[in-house]
Structure 1
Amino acid sequence: MSTSSVDRAAGPASLPAPDETRWPGLATPPHSPLRARAAEALFRRAVKNLDLRVTFPDGTVLGAGGPEAPEMRILRPSAFFHRLGADAKIGFGESYMVGDWTAEDLAGVLTPFAEKLTTIVPLFLQRFRRFAERVQPAAEENTIEGSRSNIHRHYDLSNDLFSAFLDESMMYSSALFGPGEDLTQAQHRKLDSVLDYAGVREGSEVLEIGTGWGELSIRAASRGAKVTSLTISQEQKVLADARIAEAGLSDRVDVQLCDYRNATGQYDSVVSVEMIEAVGQSYWPTFFATIGKRLRPGGRFGLQAITMDHDRMLAAARSYTWIHKYIFPGGIIPSVQAIEDGMRDNTRLKLAGMREFGQDYARTLKLWGERFHQRWDDIRGFGFDDVFHRMWEFYLAYSEAGFRSGHIKVHQFGFADPR
């Protein structure tokens, strides 16, 4: 039995209390009996029609799923409902991190919740949401300094961590699968697709916004392009430079530690893969305008973005969630409409092509999750503890469930300057 399967099935007694220096305040659940009772009533009402089983220590079973349905085991009901009552959008994930509940098939449990996300809270209560929910803190606003801090908290965790669960392409974004392709082949298919949308070919001068670990730059330079790639992650730049040098392409790729707002020069193509989610809604006009300014007449823009429905985006625009607190501070997922409107209002570019492949992202995340579990002993050796393990386990499964349910999607766009 693997380490990950032991951890997933284990009861709370097997989990050490969170280290207060790493996880301040997490070990002790909040205490608000009235809110906990309200949360329990809403939770019981919500799960009774979901295709899963929710089991309690006293033998109570809730949910509409049969014996084969994914099982959510609530091990410490009191702590679970107090966390849920204090702040459901944060407490649900925190309660998993500390072991108040567990699941063998975590993505399977989370998918029915994602499918019914807009109706879990009764409509008559949703009108009061703005009074009860926390908003994103001002300290996480995506100013130039704020963006650097937000990116540092996630992407500078450890290159070794990301190397452990990503494939050899080191792409941390959705693959685009063709028949019979493995993850690396599918990542290259994705890159070729977005480069095609951007019209990248021999002799192209390309600006990449968001370097990652360099694979897109390598792919573009291999076509004969000259690439300027921007990142604000020092850790990513170090490894990207090393990988580009190993590919023998240092003369064709210049990785700069530079915010997109400080970009200079003119280019035939601009490309950006899953970076817009970190821009922040109030900075989208600046992001789109920057693309327009950096493109030569007749230039093209290739974009890959996680998306959500426009009405859901508007409803979630200021919400502060578990994902913001623990994974992506300052982030917001745009809608297709927000991207199209932003490009129309801030550039001369016109939409030239688009594809959606959200189920490919669910598959990508499943593969990442499996590799994360398989490599956990190695990852633990990089200095990460059991709470981090369950946090990332929840993050990957939560994201997979979002794509599986269709609550979030991923799109590639091609925009062209008609001049």
Structure 2
Amino acid sequence: MTDIRTSSLSELAVVRHSPARAWAAERLFRLSARGVPVTVTLPSGERFGAGGPELRIERPHAFFSRLGADAKIGFGESYLAGDWSAEDDLADVLTPFAARIATLVPAPLQALRRFVDARKPASERNTVVNARGNISRHYDLSDELFAGFLDETMTYSSAWFERETEDLAVAQRRKIDAILDLAGVREGTSLLEIGTGWGELALRAARRGALVTTLTISAEQQTLARKRLAEAGAGDRVEVVLRDYREAVGRYDAIVSVEMIEAVGEEYWPAYVTTLDRLLVPGGRIGLQAITMPHDRMLATRRSYTWIHKYIFPGGQLMSVEAFEQAVRRYTGLRIRERRSLGESYAHTLRRWRTRFLDAWPQIAEAGFDDTFRRMWEFYLAYSEAGFRGEYLDVHQFGLVKPH
């Protein structure tokens, strides 16, 4: 793939066309749209769908060819290339599809998935070496990019809103405090954080009196997190370490990890949960936040290579609640004591991020990002929002304990 900052149209301009596959993709798309409350409009003026937000197909030949080549990647690539557009809000167009994603393809055709779905490349397996490259492709894009759409806390995970109109930073700090509460973090707690982000959780833990070790495999995040912690006067209570979770050492009273398990990959879920168990003292507690999907959909799509993998999170894999609970039971002595869902809050969070991203685009573009990147990031944020609004995705906070 080309440099993700300047993902020019040169790659997207190559449309693999198979008349038979494009024809089949068009027939299937038309059939699926009958039960989806959207309006699909073609350049000829033809309209179909069950009525609702308008999806305008600007270049039908390219659109259906990309769908026929690989629907899971082609739909998003078509948006990047300008083959289709949303007359209304992009997330409003995508949400009806997300809400019906399990039934868009008729059941008899779903059995053919293993023959047509692209498989995840071996180069994106989350080995200790590969994981750093996978993370770097996303988190090391640019501090200016993330500062452009995140709030003052620089927190890149779901907030917890009590009201939709609430300030984003307030909702983010509520989420962080809830995770720290689940882990029982207080004065004198030795705390391990897996996945530093840009340091806000470590800062709030330090202000409770905890001694914090926080792990990241992003060099740029390590640099900025250290700077932010030093400026906040917490540098002496927090150690920001460039280290993979599998290489972590020590014993801790508490462990926290927010939306990091999504980057682990199914192959390494056992290693992740056994690491939690290994590093936690008896009687210790864990606060963990994870994006989840329905168990049946996880099983059906676990081998598939998608647009999100190719363009946003290489090597990523979402768990179901059941999969997480099974891994904890099978590989550890930990016990899950608490669980809460924040899916609606994630939809609000993503809408705020997308609005802020588009408003800040002139400044973000100055960091070297092109217009195709803008469409890619807009689609990613809207696509994710649609997943939570359509209840295809959820996000959970888990409280775990290690028995004495």
Aligned 8 A contact 2:72 2:307 in 1: yes
> Which one of the candidate residues 19, 24, 27 is aligned to 2:13?
27
The CA deviation at 1:20 is 9.2
Pick closer, same or farther for the CA change 1:108–1:21 going to 2, 3 Å.
closer
Q: After superposition, what is the alpha-carbon deviation per residue over 1:338-379, rounded to whole angstroms, capped at 9, x for unaligned?
A: 111111222221111110010100000000000011011111
> Which one of the candidate residues 24, 30, 40 is aligned to 2:26?
40
Code of the residue aligned with 2:114 in structure 1: it is R
Aligned 8 A contact 1:20 1:26 in 2: no
- 1:80 and 2:63 are equivalent in the alignment: yes
Corresponding residue number in structure 2 for 1:125: 109
Q: Secondary structure at the residue paired with 2:276? A: helix
Corresponding residue number in structure 1 for 2:131: 147
Code of the residue aligned with 2:15 in structure 1: it is P
Corresponding residue number in structure 1 for 2:368: 383
Corresponding residue number in structure 2 for 1:323: 308
Q: Secondary structure at the residue paired with 1:25? A: helix
- 1:58 and 2:64 are equivalent in the alignment: no
Q: After superposition, what is the alpha-carbon deviation per residue over 1:147-195, rounded to whole angstroms, capped at 9, x for unaligned?
A: 0010010000001100000000101000001246310000000000011
1:17-416 equivalences under 5 Å are 22=8, 25-65=11-51, 69-103=52-86, 104-179=88-163, 181-416=166-401
CA distance in 2, matches of 1:171, 1:360: 14
Aligned 8 A contact 2:7 2:373 in 1: no
CA distance in 2, matches of 1:43, 1:58: 17
TM-score by length of 1: 0.93
The CA deviation at 1:22 is 4.7
Corresponding residue number in structure 2 for 1:12: none
The CA deviation at 1:116 is 1.0
Unaligned runs of 5+ in 2: none
Structure 1 runs (4+) deviating above 3 angstroms are 18-24
CA distance in 1, matches of 2:249, 2:299: 32
Q: Secondary structure at the residue paired with 2:12? A: coil
Code of the residue aligned with 1:330 in structure 2: it is G
Pick closer, same or farther for the CA change 1:351–1:19 going to 2, 3 Å.
closer
Code of the residue aligned with 2:244 in structure 1: it is D
Aligned 8 A contact 2:295 2:320 in 1: yes
Code of the residue aligned with 1:45 in structure 2: it is L
Q: Secondary structure at the residue paired with 2:169? A: helix
The CA deviation at 1:21 is 7.5
CA distance in 1, matches of 2:8, 2:41: 31
CA distance in 2, matches of 1:139, 1:124: 32
The CA deviation at 1:127 is 0.6
Q: Secondary structure at the residue paired with 2:198? A: coil
Percent of aligned pairs with the same amino acid: 60
Code of the residue aligned with 1:145 in structure 2: it is V
Aligned 8 A contact 2:191 2:255 in 1: yes
The CA deviation at 1:28 is 2.0
CA distance in 1, matches of 2:182, 2:147: 28
Q: After superposition, what is the alpha-carbon deviation per residue over 1:52-86, rounded to whole angstroms, capped at 9, x for unaligned?
A: 11111100011111xxx211011000100000000
The CA deviation at 1:50 is 1.0
Pick closer, same or farther for the CA change 1:408–1:88 going to 2, 3 Å.
same
CA distance in 2, matches of 1:289, 1:147: 18
TM-score by length of 2: 0.97
Q: Secondary structure at the residue paired with 1:388? A: helix
The CA deviation at 1:316 is 1.2
Q: Greater shift after overlay, 364-373 or 310-319?
A: 310-319
Aligned 8 A contact 1:20 1:27 in 2: no
Q: After superposition, what is the alpha-carbon deviation per residue over 1:265-290, rounded to whole angstroms, capped at 9, x for unaligned?
A: 00000000000000010101010000
Q: Secondary structure at the residue paired with 2:303? A: coil
Code of the residue aligned with 1:160 in structure 2: it is E
Q: After superposition, what is the alpha-carbon deviation per residue over 1:220-264, rounded to whole angstroms, capped at 9, x for unaligned?
A: 101000000000001111110011001100000000000000000
| Number of equivalenced pairs | 399
Pick closer, same or farther for the CA change 1:19–1:267 going to 2, 3 Å.
closer
Q: After superposition, what is the alpha-carbon deviation per residue over 1:131-158, rounded to whole angstroms, capped at 9, x for unaligned?
A: 1111100000000011001001000000
CA distance in 2, matches of 1:337, 1:42: 32
CA distance in 2, matches of 1:379, 1:228: 32
Q: Secondary structure at the residue paired with 2:209? A: coil
